[in-house]
Structure formats: C-alpha cells, structure tokens
C-alpha cells in the first residue's frame, strides 16, 4: 500500500488513501458504461486526479449518459471521446499513434489507462486485446470467470512492457479496512492471529435482484456466486492474513494449506414456491403481488422508484427510467418500469439461449432458472511455518443471501493477546493484557461504495499511473507503493475461490498447492 499515516492519525481522521499531488493528470478510457464503469468515472472526477477522456459502450443511451456526465458535459461529443465498443477503439488508437509519429499536430490526445468494466466473461478477451497498446489497466472483479483465463491474462501481461495493473478488489482500499489491517498486521494489537470469522450478508432482496433474476444467476452463463459476489471477500481474508506488511519481505507470505467449503441453493427454488401463487411465473400476474416480499413491483417501485430513487437497482432494470422521470414525471417512469417487469418467458416455447442471454427482473423468484448458491461457507487452514516463524490459524467465510444487512460485512479476529470485532462502520479492539476496550470509527465516505473502497482504489490506481507517466516512479515501485498488490497475488486469490468451489462440488478438502 501507499505509506500509511500512523495509527493515531488514521483513527483520528478516518482518512483513506493518501492523496499525492502531481501536475500531471492521466487520461482514461472507460470500457463499459454500466453501474461499475459509471462508479469509477465518478470516482475519477471526485478525486480530481485524472481525466475521464473517452467511453466505449455499445448501448447508445448508456454511452451518452456516462459521457455527458463525466466527459463532455454541456457540449457535443468529439469522435475520439466515444466508441461503440472496445474493438473500435483499438484500430482508432493505432491510427492515432501513426499520425502522432508522422508529426500530425492535429491528432487528438491519447489515453494513459483503461478501466475494464464489461461483463465478467469478457474481461480476459478485453484485457489481452488491449495489452499490446501498453496501457495501464484496472479490471473490474472478478479478473476472469475461469482460472485458465486468469492465467492467460497474467501470461499476456508478462509478454509486454510492464504497466500498472489493478483488479477491482475494492475492500483493500476503504479507510475502514486499511485501518483494520494496520492494527492487525503492522501494530499487532492482538498479537498473532489464531482464527478469523468473516461474513458477507448479501441482503434478501439484493440477492433476488442480482443472483436470482439478474445476470449472475446461473453458473453456466456467469460463474459461481462465490466468485461473482464474494471474490473480493476471499481476497480480503488473504490480504489480512497472508500478505506481509509493506516494510517486510514481500516473498515471505504465509499461505493456507487446505480449503474446504459447503454451500447450496436453499431458498430460491421451485419447491419453495407458495401454493397460493399458483402457476404464475411473473410478479405482475401473480395473485400474491401485493403481499409477497419478493414481489418485483414492491421491490423496484414501492421501495425505490416511488421514493424518487432511480439509481441502482432501478436503472439496472431499465437504464432510461432516470431520464423518463425527469422529463415526463413519475407516472411515465412507473409505466416504463412496469413494462420492463412484465417481460417474461415460457419454459416450453422460449429458446433456452434467449432465456439465458439476459436478466428477467419481473420473473417469480421460485420460477427462475437460477442455480448459484445463496448460502456458502469456506474454511481456510494454515499450518505452522516454523522457518518464517508463522503459526497455524484458521479463517471461516460465510456468504448468506437471506439477511437484513446488505453487503455490510462483519467479523471477528481472535489473537493471542486480544480480539478484534468489526462491522462496516467501526472496529472494536479488546486487549486481554490490559483489559481495555477501544472503539475506532473510521470515516465512511458518503458517495463511494464499499465503505470508500471504490474511491480508494481509483485514487491509488490513478496516482500510480500519474507517478509512472510523469517519471517520478518506475512501474514496479509505483505498483508496490500505491496498489500493494501484484498480478500474481490477484490471480492467487482467484485460485483460492476456484479451489473452494472444487471443495464444495466434490465434498472434500482441497490442498491449495493443487492450485
């Protein structure tokens, strides 16, 4: 990580990543103008450390929406500011570079880096295709949906001059979690870690939105929920318990030796459908639409649109609803929402490919084609490492869909001299030696998701790129100084997810050395 403030200033201010001023503002292309691409574009603008220079997005409305907000506000877009997709950007950039080499002073300015925010299964294709251009890359998590694609990305990047590379493991970069690791690893406030419990409560309606009705509902078309939802939780655990502090030997990692996992799809299946729902497959035609807790009109309209909330999840159902509300009013926005929710399919007559290629947000949660786990536990076991003086320990991760809390992670870490309890707002440290209890309350940024992790990662990535492009630091130094995570480490945390899935499917304990 970048140099941290001492514990007193960390806890007093709740500060996030240190901001280093530089006269050079790197320019970035956003590939994918969905919710994640928009979040990173907003974070770049908020930090005022870089410039959102261009967007590549096949959907005209999304492309215009991101561009008018962060690239060409109050102006008309220039050709070099928008592309129909990332494939169109590559020949454009190659031609632009030829013009620059030929001394064409009218050639548009280039970009320094790219944020890859397309669908998960396209990450490998996009990153490997862009690699020859020598751009710095931030790839949204997961890095890829298979280990072979993760390794392909790693190999491809190694074949080209090294550039800054980041993965959207945003939990590393929130003020809360940076302080937690500082207390745990650098100050050793509870001695040696013996055991850890970490829970990600997804949220009862959030899971139904993304993993029952949405694009991550099916392993065949996406990936296991442990990867698509919780890969940064697995990375968070390994970051806390494996990665050495920045002032220590970075090769002296204490890795788990064994991984086991249990989990299944427990609630969202046809056998649990209420009898009173009858044969209804869509919420709008269901006799329980006014009372069912998973009623799509109740979730998307009553809980959100009726209260003026048009961002996630409403704009995922229909991205045009925010503009419809502002231009035509609430009734028109409601009509547009209900039209989207009314879309349905018939298992007997609709081709499977048509069902699987898109979300169905009005679909009955007990009649969907989802199959990803809604409840899963992963256990990591470390053996003694006598050579490096590291003791045995255990970590347990629990992902649960049916929860009141929504992505507000919580946990406990047990050490030889104390115990740390944490949630998404505070960190409570119990010292067994003195009997004292101290509560830390890091600042939680209002506009940034994941407790400030989105803004934290963006700031670190942009500053690393600026440091390299301005000649202040070499790539390796900037990667270590600002991001504290190599491509190898990112791939390793993904491998742990795939190993856990093997353990779950095969009902056995998996040795991490197999992966």
Residue 131 backbone phi and psi in degrees, to 5 = -55, -45
CA 506/CA 470 separation, integer angstroms? 51
Asked if 359 and 345 touch (Cβ cutoff 8 Å), the reply is: no
Which residues share a beta bridge with 262?
377
**Stated pTM of the model:** 0.92
List the chain pLDDT tens, one digit each, 515 residues.
333 333 333 322 233 445 555 689 999 999 999 999 999 999 999 999 999 999 999 999 999 999 999 999 989 999 999 999 999 999 999 999 999 999 999 999 999 999 999 999 999 999 999 999 999 999 999 999 999 999 999 999 999 999 999 999 999 999 999 999 999 999 999 999 999 999 999 999 999 999 999 999 999 999 999 999 999 999 999 999 997 665 566 567 889 999 999 999 999 999 999 999 999 999 999 999 999 999 999 999 999 999 999 999 999 999 999 999 999 999 999 999 999 999 999 999 999 999 999 999 999 999 999 999 999 999 999 999 988 888 999 999 999 999 999 999 999 999 999 999 999 899 999 999 999 999 999 987 777 677 789 999 999 999 999 999 999 999 999 999 999 999 999 999 999 999 999 999 999 999 988 77
Domains and CATH numbers, the chain: 7-171+457-486 (3.40.50.720), 175-268+371-448+490-514 (3.30.360.10), 270-356 (no CATH)
**Alpha carbon of residue 512 to chain centroid:** 24
Number of helices (H) and strands (E), helices first, in the chain?
18, 15
Could you give the 3-state DSSP secondary structure of residue 447? coil
Listed in sequence order, the residues at least 6 apart from 226 whose beta carbon sits closer than 8 Å to its beta carbon are 234, 261, 263, 373, 376, 378, 399, 497, 500, 501, 504
H or E segment to which residue 31 belongs: strand 27-31
CA 370/CA 350 separation, integer angstroms? 16
């Amino acid at each position: 990580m970048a140099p941290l403030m001492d514990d007193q200033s960390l806890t007093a201010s709740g500060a996030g990543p240190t901001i280093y001023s530089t006269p050079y503002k790197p320019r970035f292309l956003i590939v994918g103008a969905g919710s994640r691409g928009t979040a990173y574009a907003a974070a770049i603008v908020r930090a005022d450390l870089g410039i959102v220079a261009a967007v590549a997005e096949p959907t005209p409305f999304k492309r215009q929406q991101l561009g008018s907000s962060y690239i060409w506000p109050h102006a008309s877009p220039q050709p070099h500011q928008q592309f129909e997709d990332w494939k169109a950007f590559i020949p454009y950039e190659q031609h632009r570079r030829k013009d620059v080499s030929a001394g064409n002073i009218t050639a548009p300015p280039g970009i320094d880096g790219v944020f890859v925010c397309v669908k998960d299964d396209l990450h490998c294709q996009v990153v490997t295709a862009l690699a020859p251009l020598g751009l710095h890359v931030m790839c949204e998590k997961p890095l890829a949906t298979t280990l072979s694609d993760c390794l392909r990305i790693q190999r491809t990047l190694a074949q080209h001059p090294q550039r800054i590379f980041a993965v959207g493991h945003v939990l590393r970069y929130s003020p809360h979690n940076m302080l937690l690791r500082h207390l745990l690893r650098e100050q050793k406030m509870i001695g040696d870690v013996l055991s850890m419990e970490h829970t990600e409560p997804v949220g009862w309606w959030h899971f139904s939105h993304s993993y029952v009705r949405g694009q991550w509902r099916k392993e065949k078309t996406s990936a296991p929920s442990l990867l698509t939802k919780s890969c940064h939780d697995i990375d968070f655990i390994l970051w806390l318990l494996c990665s050495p502090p920045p002032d220590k030997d970075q090769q002296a990692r204490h890795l788990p030796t064994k991984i086991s996992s249990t989990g299944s799809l427990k609630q969202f299946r046809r056998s649990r459908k209420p009898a009173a729902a009858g044969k209804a497959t869509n919420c709008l035609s269901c006799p329980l639409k006014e009372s069912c807790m998973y009623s799509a009109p109740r979730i998307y309209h009553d809980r959100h649109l009726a209260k003026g909330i048009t961002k996630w999840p409403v704009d995922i159902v229909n991205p045009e609803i925010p503009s419809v509300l502002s231009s035509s009013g609430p009734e028109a926005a409601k009509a547009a929402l209900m039209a989207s929710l009314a879309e349905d399919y018939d298992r007997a007559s609709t081709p499977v490919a048509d069902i699987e290629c898109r979300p169905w947000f009005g679909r009955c949660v007990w009649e969907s084609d989802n199959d990803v786990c809604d409840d899963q536990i992963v256990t990591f076991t470390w053996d003694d490492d006598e050579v490096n003086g590291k003791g045995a320990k255990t970590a347990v991760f629990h992902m649960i869909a049916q929860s009141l809390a929504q992505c507000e992670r919580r946990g406990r870490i047990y050490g030889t001299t104390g115990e740390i309890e944490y949630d998404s707002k505070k960190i409570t440290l119990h010292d067994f030696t003195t009997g004292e209890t101290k509560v830390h309350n890091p600042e939680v940024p209002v506009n940034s998701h994941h407790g400030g992790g989105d803004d934290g990662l963006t700031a670190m990535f942009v500053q690393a790129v600026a440091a390299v492009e301005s000649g202040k630091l070499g790539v390796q130094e900037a990667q270590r100084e600002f991001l504290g995570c190599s491509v190898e480490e990112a791939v390793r945390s993904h491998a742990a997810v795939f190993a856990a899935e093997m353990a779950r499917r095969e009902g056995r304990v998996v040795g991490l050395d197999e992966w």
